[in-house]
Amino acid sequence: MHRRRRTALLLSAAIVAAPLLTACGNDAHPGAAAVVGGQRITVSQLENRVSEVRTAQRDAVPDEAAYAQVIAKSGTLPRDVLHNMVLDEVLHKAAEDADVRVTRKEIQQMRADLEGQAGGAKALETAWLQQYGIPPQRLDENLRLQLEAQKLATVLGTDTGKPAFWNALAAASKDLDIDVNPRYGTWDVQKSSRADAKTPWVREVTAAGAQPAL
């Protein structure tokens, strides 16, 4: 369980809080939060995924005061969620390149094992939400990615924390030609991670108190 949790954490956003950016979007891809492998992740899709997390967080706490504390601690959620959405595609591409496949049966078995260790389905869903920001309806999808990561590391003869694994993700990132809307930052190919955009004029406008807008 401990090893699997490390993998899940690895594939979840771990981004330092930073001010929202105020860029107006990528002119080449209007309305896109990111473009990955020529496919758009739209701002609407991102907002829907963020809403899933927020709804699950609200259902998991007893009152509005507790929910307000959750909100205060997760101000970077849109960028964190986009990081996960892009990284999911990168990992899936790296797994496909290595001829890694995950079956539905394997996902079900992993979930059953984790539920047994967590103390039931609800306990597992709560743990994944609290620790990794994965809402219940995305749990199986995330477990598939965990299995892909584990199998990819095995094929490469390494571990998910080692350079060989991340080099494979970097190669997949490069092939996918990832383009992130400046509002959400940039994509670091070598680290396969979202990074805050280094745009002086954006920082100046943000400091002046302008509201973020697409």
Q: Out of 49-63, 130-144, 147-161, 195-209, which region has the weakest mean confidence (pLDDT)?
A: 195-209
* C-alpha span between 174 and 176 (Å, rounded): 5
pLDDT score at 27: 52
From CA 187, how far away is CA 175, in angstroms rounded? 13
Contact 143, 107 (CB under 8 A): yes
Quick one: pLDDT band at residue 194, thresholds 50, 70, 90?
confident
Reduce the DSSP state of residue 199 to 3 states and report it. Answer: coil
pLDDT at residue 70 is higher than 90: no
123 secondary structure, DSSP code? H
Which tokens in the block code for residue 141?
């999808």
Distance CA 146, CA 16 (A): 23
More confident residue, 179 or 208: 179
What would the mean pLDDT of 95-117 be, rounded to a whole number? Answer: 97
What is the band of 19 on the pLDDT scale with cuts at 50, 70, 90? very low
Do 167 and 110 meet the contact criterion of CB atoms below 8 Å apart? no
For residue 186, give the DSSP letter: E
pLDDT of residue 192: 86
High-pLDDT (> 70) share of the chain, % = 78
Cβ neighbours around 44 below 10 Å, total:
11
Task: Output the pTM of the full model.
Answer: 0.78
Segment 42-56 mean pLDDT? 96
Token pair for 138: 């995305």
Predicted local confidence at residue 116, as pLDDT: 97
SS3 62: coil
**Is the pLDDT confidence value at 133 over 60?**
yes
The whole-number pLDDT of residue 76 equals 87
Domain 2-207 has CATH 1.10.3120: yes
User: What value does the mean pLDDT take over residues 35-49?
Assistant: 96
